[in-house]
Amino acid sequence: MRRMMTKKTKEERAKITEERIRQEQEQHLESWQPKTKLGKLVKSKKITDIDEALKHKILEPEIVDILVNLNSEILNIGQAKGKFGGGKRRAWRQTQKKTAEGNTPTFSCMCVVGNQNGYLGLGYGRAKETLPARAKALRKAKLNLMKIKRGCGSFDCVCSEPHTIPFIVKGKVGSCRIKLIPAAQGTGLVVGDECKKILRLAGIKDVYSVTNGKIRTTINLAKACVEALKKTREM
């Protein structure tokens, strides 16, 4: 009984937190004063389509917040400390710099945003604390928003629904190489956990993958996955 009450309390707290964040975001957008020409056009509702806005360089994340409703995920790019190096994955990647005053820690974070319907953005942020690093990564992810193409490119699927990628694409960053292959409906995402987050937010439900290189470097693997998805627009 106590466990059920605790679980219910956590869910209620999460709902309250989401509602508070949503209200704060609405207040921020209402009081937002755009500085760029594109931002002024969006604020005055002369541009109401995200595709029209993506033809220009987006320099303000509020433009994306107004035009499209996005969900966000944090990728586990760090590693927890502990005996024998820890090993458990976590969201914050911590590095240290040796100075005369002592060790200066820096935290890194990587965020991915998407509307689960063909729009995707990836961002990386660094700061001296965790929350500013997450805010930077989220802001850069919105500024890097792009549209990808989906389709049904699998040879053993005859549906016309956009549940996978239209053809085979490849991406490479550093030594990380990833190859995404169209899959039939019901296959699921046959790929690593962090790439699953990216593909889900992009709206892709079924895909096969082949990876090579130092794929434990999650930052390069995530960037390679986004580079591969970017190539779906080339045909």
Size of the chain, expressed as the number of residues it contains: 235
What confidence score (pLDDT) does residue 234 get?
A: 82
Hey, how many other C-beta atoms are within 10 angstroms of the C-beta on 89?
Answer: 15
> Which burial class, exposed, middle or buried, applies to 117 when counting CB atoms under 10 A from its CB (0-12, 13-18, 19+)?
middle
d(CA 170, CA 154): 16
Among the residues of the chain, which ranges form H helices?
2-30, 37-43, 50-53, 61-67, 130-143, 193-202, 218-230
Closest C-alpha to 46, from 63, 59, 29 = 63
Q: What share of the chain is helix, strand, coil (3-state, %, to 5)?
A: 40, 25, 35
Q: Which residues contact 23 (CB under 8 A, 6 or more apart)?
A: none
d(CA 54, CA 56): 5
Partners of 78 in beta bridges: 90
d(CA 111, CA 121): 8
What confidence score (pLDDT) does residue 28 get?
A: 81
Per-residue pLDDT of the chain (235 residues), as tens digits, is 455 556 567 778 877 877 787 788 788 888 889 999 999 999 998 999 999 999 999 999 999 999 999 999 999 998 877 666 566 788 889 888 888 888 899 999 999 999 999 999 999 999 999 899 999 999 999 999 999 999 988 888 878 889 999 999 999 999 999 999 999 998 999 999 999 999 999 999 999 999 999 988 899 999 999 999 999 988 6
Partners of 209 in beta bridges: 180
Q: Is-contact 188 212, C-beta < 8 A?
A: no
d(CA 62, CA 28): 9
User: What residue ranges define each of the domains in the chain, with the CATH number in brackets?
Assistant: 13-75+106-147 (3.30.160.20), 169-233 (3.30.230.10)
pTM: 0.86
